[in-house]
Structure 1
Amino acid sequence: MSSEIDGPVQGAEAERLRRWRLALGGEPGADGTGVGLSGNDAGVDAALAALYRSSEGQQSGGRSAGLGASAPSMARWLGDIRRYFPSTVVQVMQTDAIERLNLTRLLLEPEMLEAVEPDVHLVGTLLSLNRAMPEKTKQTARQVVRAVVEQVEKRIAQRTRTAITGALNRSARISRPRHADIDWNRTIKANLKHYQAEYSTIVPERLVGYGRKIRSVQRDIVLCVDQSGSMAASVVYSSIFAAVLASMRSVRTSLVVFDTAVVDLTPQLQDPVEVLFGTQLGGGTDINRAIAYGQTLITRPRDSIFVLISDLYEGGVRDEMLRRVAAMLAAGVQVIVLLALSDEGAPAYDRDNAAALAALGVPAFACSPDAFPDLIAAAIERRPLPVPAA
């Protein structure tokens, strides 16, 4: 990057002033730096000004560029930020542009979608616009969504399958295994007291191993996902996880999404893109109704894991919701409540309902996508769940 410096300022001081000029975004002389911009610096400043300008900045001579109200100008701006900034910064700026400038309408234009950097937050926005999207745009939108789905699947699929398979194998461990099924590491640890120094060996009095691979379904997993607007990222991640789990023969996976109505998307799990376009972000919340439907999917309580993903802002019958959770627990179902399944940090949630669930023995907490496979593995083995510190 190059810059034009007024006066005899050089070296480290010049770089410091150049950075201040980019941060302040004022005209030369107005911000006290005396620094003018050219080349890439000018392009970076213009891209930032187009998004982060304000009426106060315009009146005081600050940043005064804009994105306008047309898809072509927005597409050019998207091209500029991809040129000047890394992908992670581009995604943040796209999200800010949609929120600050109310540009959701432009996402209905195919040329606009072709210019964006696909990410989970953009997918959430597209899903919220799904019903209003013209047919000419839907194919492009599906391509954007598929790019994100493939990106996330690449990140989580193998780890999920490995964690779940390992947990199922460990839960099937037997004390009289066939030779090919012996877990030698655990067998050695279990028999260290029988070490024979004179022979430099261990007498394996007790063998520890895995049962032979079972091809039948060993666990039923029901994902019950709140699709209110605040849960957009969680809907995306949980849909992809559900598709990955559904590809495993050893678990039977169901995916239910809900607002005030309940939709069973299990038949679409072979294609997570179809699953996502089957959701409808926004609207109210009836957790009790969703749990009631989820209960009908549980036929083997002691081999079932019920995962409720919701911020717990209940619009239905709260006492009935808690009664249903207590009934599942009494029947032997493993119940997990996630306030969010995303990378967005601490979510907003209904603290009274979270406390009531904790009193039943079901702590409610947020979970990142990277931690989710280990969480399900712990549930399969009925180990204590890795609940993050509050």
Structure 2
Amino acid sequence: MNHDAPAGQDAAREERLRRWRLVLGASGGSDGTGHELDGTDADMDRTLQALYGSHSGAGGAGGEKGAGRGARRTAGLGGSAPQVARWLGDIRTYFPSSVVQVMQRDAIERLGLSALLLEPETLAALESDVHLVGTLLSLTKAMPETSKETARVVVRKVVEELERKLAARTRVTLIGALDRSAKLHRPRHRDIDWDRTIRANLRNYLPEHRTIVPERLIGYGRASRAVKKEVVLCVDQSGSMAASVVHASVFGAVLASMRSIDTRLVVFDTSVVDLTDALDDPVDVLFGVQLGGGTDINRALAYCQTRISRPSETVLVLISDLCEGGIRGEMLKRVAQLTEAGVRFVTLLALSDEGAPAYDREHAGALAALGVPAFACTPDHFPEVMAAAIEKRPLPMPDT
């Protein structure tokens, strides 16, 4: 007979009640679980209570979604900077980084605490991530100089982490693509691309000798001999594109560090700003961005068009949700002109881990009709997309 089963079942039941108690919160024990918290659990509950409070599901903030589900947590965090800074420290103590980032976003977005991000004390206590950087960048106009220095530290931490994650793979992938795209027709033996050479000489197959006569040799060019490629990153800086702007600035800096690529970074809303001169430091790039405002893709493309000197050696990457506020017909006409001139045009609806945002499907369809499909791209996938664009082969679009 197994005497351990009842004890195990009781422990599992207690754990379920504990978790429900933390999820639901309580006001005077009204959560219905009958489970009392103590020690670390009680401290954890207080940090949740400070942000979400507790309220019955039938009304109040968040009540509509919670109707019929019993008690649930809703907003109730106080607004003083020291109190918020202490709370930020507490949640980092009790929760993993991924949960901390979600709770920070809830505090900022749902409770209107953006003003507190202007306080150095609050900034220093934050868990840094791409979304926080986007929020900080949207506040730079209102940020005092003392807070701006702290904000730069937060932004630099995120940027350096992204560079460590993305830079090496990007360089390796693109160097390979650049080598393959610089074909030589009289290569030295060690530079011969045998796969391409065989395909190019299949008509010279001699059946009696079971061999191919390689009348035309195709090889890889060395990077020093190859024609430099031009890459233009044209990035929508409207508020919904914040994460894409952060990733684009990091990739822009990585590409600019490669001698075989001339890189230009252009950001736009209804105006156009060329941030190419700041590419040696992506943090400077980000603090040159002004998130928000409208969108004039046509104007941005017109500017980029004037800066392209070798269309057949250029890749232009438009990163935008395509919610055009400019002249739609002129935008499409300009895309057609660029592609007809030989520019490899790539449209990314987002460059982030979140997938495709809300975007203008009509404009996306019109671009696809011009041979320029629009799709969302994760940072991990971006090097492969760029490699395909440089080699002028089909883009590896994610499954949709």
Compute the TM-score of the two structures, normalised by the length of structure 2.
Answer: 0.87
Which residue of 73, 82, 101 corresponds with 1:91?
A: 101
User: Is structure 2 residue 122 aligned with structure 1 residue 112?
Assistant: yes
Per-residue CA deviations over 1:340-365 (Å, capped at 9, x if unaligned) read 11111220001111111111111111
Distance verdict in 2 for CA 1:65–1:100, change over 3 Å: closer
Tell me if the contact between 1:28 and 1:35 (Cα under 8 Å) persists in the aligned partners. no
Q: Distance in 1 between matches of 2:12 and 2:338?
A: 65
Distance verdict in 2 for CA 1:361–1:65, change over 3 Å: closer
Give the structure 1 partner of residue 49 of structure 2: 49
Q: Distance in 1 between matches of 2:227 and 2:288?
A: 26
When structure 1 is superposed on structure 2, of 62-71 and 215-224 the one drifting more is 62-71
Over aligned residue pairs, what C-alpha RMSD do you find? Answer: 2.7
Tell me if the contact between 1:233 and 1:342 (Cα under 8 Å) persists in the aligned partners. yes
Query: Could you say what secondary structure the match of 1:35 adopts?
Result: coil
Per-residue CA deviations over 1:275-297 (Å, capped at 9, x if unaligned) read 00000000111111001001011
Give the structure 1 partner of residue 395 of structure 2: 385
Distance verdict in 2 for CA 1:40–1:279, change over 3 Å: same
Structure 1 residue 29: Cα displacement: 4.3
Q: Distance in 1 between matches of 2:212 and 2:104?
A: 61
User: Is structure 2 residue 138 aligned with structure 1 residue 157?
Assistant: no
Q: How does 1:1-390 map to 2 (within 5 A)?
A: 10-27=10-27, 29-53=29-53, 56=56, 63=73, 66-174=76-184, 176-182=186-192, 206=214, 209-214=219-224, 218-390=228-400
Tell me if the contact between 2:55 and 2:72 (Cα under 8 Å) persists in the aligned partners. no
When structure 1 is superposed on structure 2, of 29-38 and 375-384 the one drifting more is 29-38
Q: Distance in 1 between matches of 2:170 and 2:380?
A: 9
User: How many residues matched?
Assistant: 376
Distance verdict in 2 for CA 1:37–1:54, change over 3 Å: closer
Structure 1 residue 55: Cα displacement: 5.7
Q: Distance in 2 between matches of 1:287 and 1:185?
A: 41
Tell me if the contact between 2:25 and 2:71 (Cα under 8 Å) persists in the aligned partners. no
Identity of aligned residues (%): 66
Q: Distance in 1 between matches of 2:100 and 2:54?
A: 20
Tell me if the contact between 1:225 and 1:256 (Cα under 8 Å) persists in the aligned partners. yes
Structure 1 residue 28: Cα displacement: 6.2
When structure 1 is superposed on structure 2, of 371-380 and 66-75 the one drifting more is 66-75
Tell me if the contact between 1:311 and 1:350 (Cα under 8 Å) persists in the aligned partners. yes
When structure 1 is superposed on structure 2, of 40-49 and 369-378 the one drifting more is 40-49
Is there any run of 5+ residues in structure 2 with no aligned partner, and where? 1-8, 61-69
Tell me if the contact between 2:52 and 2:75 (Cα under 8 Å) persists in the aligned partners. no
Per-residue CA deviations over 1:281-323 (Å, capped at 9, x if unaligned) read 0011111100100101111111111111111111111100000
Q: Distance in 2 between matches of 1:301 and 1:39?
A: 66
Query: Could you say what secondary structure the match of 1:302 adopts?
Result: helix
User: Given residue 385 of structure 1, which amino acid in structure 2 is its aligned partner?
Assistant: L
Structure 1 residue 163: Cα displacement: 0.9
